[in-house]
Amino acid sequence: MSDGLLIHPHGGTLTNRIAEAEAATKLRSEAANLPAITISSKQACDLEMIAIGAFSPLTGFLGKADFESVCRDMRLSSSGGEGIVWPIPITLAVDDDTKANLSEGSRAALKHSDGTLLAVIDIEEIYPHDKKLEIPNVFRTEDEAHPGVQTVLEEGEWLVGGPINVITVTPEKEPGEQFTEHRLAPAATRAAFAERGWKTVAAFQTRNPIHRAHEYLCKCALEICDGLLIHPLVGETKPGDIPAEVRMSCYQVIIEKYFVAARTMLSVMPGAMRYAGPREAILHALIRQNYGISHFIVGRDHAGVGDYYGTYDAQNIFDEFAPGEIAITPLKFEHAAWCKVCEGMTSAKTCPHDGDQKIFLSGTKVREMLANGEKPPQEFSRPEVAEVLIEWATSAVAST
């Protein structure tokens, strides 16, 4: 079945920068004589997202005009993208020593930190990394304690722009670390949706286990869409976040026990977190549009960290764009919790009762309970999910 009934990719075309076998062989040979750029974990995630089309319409790392336009106006420049919405610059930063070996109009090999050759970049531009432009615009703060700000500050002072030609997106690792079975590119998820006959699909973005509130949002979305894609981010996250392999076990057990198999899919998104709040909510929505998603769940403080963003800033930012500029439909949900009086999951839109009737648990409290081998209340977390987390938390405590 064709995916022609699905939402179109952002910008109209699903890109693919992975070289065919013959071209890849030539690239490997050429790369042996090229200057090398060893890329960071964040850049490796971005490279994969460009390569598979998740960052469509991007074909490489941004040049100067696009970088400045995205930082200031959340759009690609008219020369490069005809004003298409794009909220966060996707850049290849290098230090002075690396920059000294590069030149515009030439090529460079992009390598993983373990030495694996990942891609070759056609260097169109090398330009100063204007962090004073990027940081306050993208993150709405210059506080160095913000993990996204800190990452940019630690990056090189030069940016290299140009299209990439990708040989592989991941170095050789144990299969379980790559989530190979669930590492579906946008073309593959689109094909899967079409095979299932889904025309409308909701996606749930998460970097945490799915608790009862998340489950409620997902099932509300399923009531209005043909299918649901649970689409956890498994790229680079900040220290302290629950490891991706633990989260995957949680997703699998809750889908098996509490979701309709014929209406639910699990796939991973190999992007890196920026913790940029509102702007990152837009980025996550555009990425999911490329995967074939028509409706995107945007909950409380999406992609936020600490107290840098307002509770619903990540929802309100969608209203800043004209109709049609962002094709995907955001599903804006209130903070959900179990109400003791209603005896079910509710939100401020559906429940009239005071907060003291709701079961809210802080992340700190939940972590303490798990580390002590205690299950959170079933109104907060399904017991099967709690068991996975307790096993992880107690083993982590034992190893310290």
Mind telling me the catalytic residues?
207-208
DSSP 72-121: HHSB--HHHHTT-B--S----EE-HHHHTT--TTSEEEEE-TTS-EEEEE
- Containing H/E element for 136? helix 131-139
Let me know: does 53 contact 14? Beta carbons within 8 Å: yes
Let me know: does 194 contact 188? Beta carbons within 8 Å: no
Residues 6+ apart with CB under 8 A from 323: none
3 state DSSP class of 122 = strand
95: left (phi over 0), alpha (psi -120 to 50) or beta: beta
3 state DSSP class of 172 = coil
Residue 234 DSSP class: -
Place of tokens 């009239």: 352
**Helices 244-258 and 383-398: angle between axes, nearest 10 degrees:** 160
Binning the chain into helix, strand and coil, the percentages to the nearest 5 are 40, 15, 45
Residue type, 311: T
Residues 6+ apart with CB under 8 A from 253: 382, 384, 385, 388
Q: E-strand spans in 106-146?
A: 107-111, 117-122, 125-128
Residues 6+ apart with CB under 8 A from 365: none
Residue type, 79: S
Let me know: does 7 contact 294? Beta carbons within 8 Å: yes
Residue 94 DSSP class: E
d(CA 43, CA 285): 20
Beta bridge partners of 126: 160
Let me know: does 326 contact 92? Beta carbons within 8 Å: no
